[in-house]
């Protein structure tokens, strides 16, 4: 019961520091001024009064342009968007075909395996029916007539004729692709703020403009060659084996009314690893097929190994806007800075002030370890 009483005492006793009020304009001014600085810092530098929200965006891309190819396997040929843009939807990631290896008229049949160190065999070929080697192009079949350009190989059951992707054209087949243009429609939303931001350009400007960092930094129409060169690459050399190129759009915005308009900032960067030392098959390519049916109902396909540049439109950024909650929350940080202020002004007072000895005498009491007596300052 006594314990409880003392405990209550402990809880309800209020301990407050003894203070000394100094009626000096100089010191007072220093004090208030430092306080002001802190408040300013928290508001202006930290933007402590803002709550932030990260962007949600939608991207639509539309490529324009046509080109001509003139290669042996496909004769003189015209290419338009439907041919070279894969997938056609044109969302945030689109691929522009620049170089291809075509293997037309493939059918499910048997043909001799391509000659490789592992597949070539001399007189003694053990082509065990049904055995399939992961490194080969299909399941082995019986040893038939498999004279294939001189060297002997087993026959395989596969899409025949087999694709020969060793002789990739040295110069990109669709070199003209560098002059294609792409329109990037991009509008962003900040769900927390219910704000939907549209590009601030009129359509008449859009019809004729083309992006240029200096003259037209806001035009969302880009020439592929320009994008690639801004990323520090050469289009023609990149077009041969392909690659991945990032179009970074930075939507970091300050949505407070006094902050003015909110514009996207574009930057370009090669995203894939072109260094042959730590990657297999640098570049970017994939295989796809077009399926046909012969008049007698047999299925054939044209296998296309397409090389090209994949453009990834990457939208990022956070927006800040005045909010009451973060203001209160960040008050915390502010206060902890404010706790610095007295330290500063005390230091000023006790070192620089004219009457520092006086202040010192009344503020500080020195307690000497050895003696029991108080030794007053000075």
**How many angstroms separate the Cα of 311 from the Cα of each of 100, 182, 220?**
18, 10, 14
Scanning 14-22, 119-127, 142-150, 226-234 for contacts with a copy of itself by CB under 8 A, the matching segment is: 14-22
In order of 30, 38, 352, 363, the CA distances from 34 in angstroms are 6, 6, 16, 21
Known binding residue 212? Answer is: no
Contact pattern from residue 82 through residue 121 relative to a copy of itself, giving x for each residue in contact according to CB under 8 A and a dash for the rest: xx--xxxxxx-x-x------------x-------------
Residue 64 is assigned to a ligand binding site: yes
8-state DSSP, 163: P
Q: Site size for a copy of itself, by CB under 8 A?
A: 129
171 binds a copy of itself (CB under 8 A): no
- Judged by CB under 8 A, the residue of 12, 123, 214, 324 near a copy of itself is 12
**296-355 binders of a copy of itself (CB under 8 A):** 300-301, 303, 310, 312, 314, 316, 325, 329, 331-337, 339-340, 342, 345-346, 349, 355
Using CA atoms, how far residue 80 sits from 63, 88, 178, 180, in Å, is: 10, 11, 14, 10
Distances from the Cα of 198 to the Cα of 56, 58, 191, 219, 262, angstroms: 13, 11, 15, 13, 9
In the complex with a copy of itself, the residue whose CB is nearer, 171 or 358, is 358
Residue 287 within binding range of a copy of itself, rule CB under 8 A: yes
CA distance 137 to 116: 11
- Residue 223 binds a copy of itself, judged by CB under 8 A: no
Single out the residue of 1, 3, 6, 15 in contact with a copy of itself (rule: CB under 8 A). Answer: 15
Q: Judge whether 309 and 243 are in contact, CB under 8 Å.
A: yes
- Of 113, 155, 178, 272, the residue at the interface with a copy of itself (CB under 8 A) is 272
Other C-beta atoms closer than 10 Å to the C-beta of 192 total: 14
Query: Which one of 121-129, 141-149, 192-200, 228-236 is the stretch in contact with a copy of itself (CB under 8 A)?
Result: 192-200
Distance CA 166, CA 73 (A): 15
Sole binder of a copy of itself in the list 217, 288, 347, 352 (CB under 8 A): 288
* 179 marked among binding-site residues: no
Token couple for 39:
């408040």
């Amino acid at each position: 019961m006594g314990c409880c009483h003392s405990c209550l005492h402990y809880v309800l006793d209020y301990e407050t520091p003894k203070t000394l009020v100094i009626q000096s304009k100089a010191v007072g001014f220093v004090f208030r001024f430092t306080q002001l600085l802190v408040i300013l810092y928290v508001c202006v530098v930290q933007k402590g009064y803002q709550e932030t929200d990260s962007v949600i965006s939608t991207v639509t891309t539309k490529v324009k342009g046509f080109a001509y190819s003139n290669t042996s396997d496909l004769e003189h040929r015209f290419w338009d968007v439907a041919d070279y843009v894969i997938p056609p939807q044109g969302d945030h990631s689109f691929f522009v075909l620049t170089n291809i290896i075509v293997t037309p008229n493939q059918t499910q049949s048997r043909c001799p395996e391509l000659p490789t160190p592992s597949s070539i065999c001399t007189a003694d070929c053990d082509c065990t029916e049904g055995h399939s080697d992961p490194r080969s192009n299909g399941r082995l079949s019986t040893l038939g007539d498999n004279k294939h350009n001189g060297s002997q190989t087993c026959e395989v059951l596969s899409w025949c004729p087999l694709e020969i992707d060793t002789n990739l054209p040295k110069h990109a087949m669709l070199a003209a692709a560098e002059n294609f243009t792409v329109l990037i429609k991009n509008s962003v939303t900040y769900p927390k703020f219910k704000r939907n931001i549209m590009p601030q350009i009129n359509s008449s400007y859009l019809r004729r403009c083309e992006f240029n960092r200096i003259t037209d930094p806001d035009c969302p129409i880009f020439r592929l060659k320009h994008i690639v060169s801004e990323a520090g690459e050469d289009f023609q050399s990149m077009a041969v084996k392909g690659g991945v190129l990032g179009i970074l759009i930075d939507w970091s915005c300050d949505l407070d009314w006094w902050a003015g308009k909110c514009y996207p900032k574009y930057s370009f960067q090669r995203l894939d690893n072109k260094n042959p030392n730590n990657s297999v098959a640098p570049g970017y390519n994939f295989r796809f097929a077009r399926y046909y049916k012969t008049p007698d109902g047999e299925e054939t396909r044209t296998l296309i190994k397409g090389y090209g540049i994949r453009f990834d439109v990457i939208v990022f950024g956070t927006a800040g806007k005045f909010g009451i909650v973060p203001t209160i929350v960040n008050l915390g940080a502010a206060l902890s800075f404010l706790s610095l202020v007295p330290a500063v002004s005390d230091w000023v007072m006790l070192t620089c002030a004219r009457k520092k000895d006086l202040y010192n005498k009344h503020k500080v009491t020195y307690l000497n370890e050895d003696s029991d007596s108080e030794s007053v300052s000075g």
